Homo-oligomer: A and B are copies of this chain.
């Protein structure tokens, strides 16, 4: 199977390499062409523009850094739109908002092409290991055609229906995650102030019914007060805001998520927005300390 691949950042490079390793023929393109050399060494063909990649391949995957890059690759000169059309599919695996996704979808469909949004959950390591979780939505036949590629890239892919559902599913998951992070923070703080060892609490949690990878990974660094931003707090708060807005639209009252959201907002007001989202622990612990107030 032949696929095009646009965008060779940390994620994109790992994913394209994975496809090559599994015998796919891959034509890659990246804004700074240097990054293509590594993939060429693994057997990839290098395309000169997004348009030329699409022209060559029936399926083209994009993995770009943000909505503006995602739009640019499609709508700019030499972009995807110039060559997309009937019989061709475009799969955007970037994490973008619903409006961006919808705009690309409409443009591609107007040209007669098929479109799939397919944001992933998982970061660098799962991308390298083909262990991503793929939340696809849009054109079902295109999804079916992509299954062999998705099987290589992820441990599991879902087809979620109409465009926008991939983004929504991520919001719901992240909302639950944000409430859980607050629950853990409150528990650690209560343990500490009640004369129990927070580390022992982590050990006990890890043996029980609510053991989960996030508690295991973040718990120890939280106790150290170390918040290297794997997922920046301001993004977590943005996702909770959007999830609550989705709830507002559909008249779903979510008081626990709302309380968690306020804690993340408090964290932002203390200057912790660029820290890891686990830094909400600082809000629960207390005044935020003198240091964090300046962050």
A residues with a Cβ closer than 8 A to B are 121-122, 133, 135, 155-156, 158, 160-162, 165, 168-169, 172-173, 175-177, 179-180, 182-184, 186-187, 189-191, 193-197, 200-201, 203-205, 207-214, 217, 241, 243, 246-263, 265-266, 268-270, 273, 284, 286-290, 292-293
Contact A191 B207 (CB under 8 A): no
- Listed residue (A155, A184, A252) with the most chain B CB atoms within 10 angstroms of its CB: A252
Dominant secondary structure at the A interface = helix
Number of this chain's copies in the assembly equals 4
Besides the contacts A122-B208, A186-B256, A287-B292, what 10 more A-B pairs have beta carbons closer than 8 Å?
A121-B207, A161-B195, A168-B195, A173-B208, A173-B210, A179-B256, A180-B180, A183-B183, A193-B247, A258-B262
- Bound Cα distance A97, B169 (Å): 31
Given A176-B187, A270-B287, residue A196 in contact with residue B165 (CB < 8 A): yes
- Bound Cα distance A213, B206 (Å): 11
Residues of B within 8 A of A165 (CB): 195-196
Q: List 12 A-B contacts (CB under 8 A).
A: A158-B203, A160-B200, A169-B196, A176-B210, A177-B209, A180-B210, A186-B254, A209-B212, A209-B217, A248-B265, A255-B262, A259-B259
Contact A246 B194 (CB under 8 A): yes
Contact A183 B190 (CB under 8 A): no
- Bound Cα distance A288, B193 (Å): 19
Residues of B within 8 A of A169 (CB): 191, 196, 200-201, 204
Residues of B within 8 A of A260 (CB): 183, 256
Given A156-B207, A204-B173, A257-B183, residue A252 in contact with residue B270 (CB < 8 A): no
- Bound Cα distance A82, B228 (Å): 58
Residues of B within 8 A of A204 (CB): 121, 133, 135, 158, 169, 173
Contact B190 A243 (CB under 8 A): yes
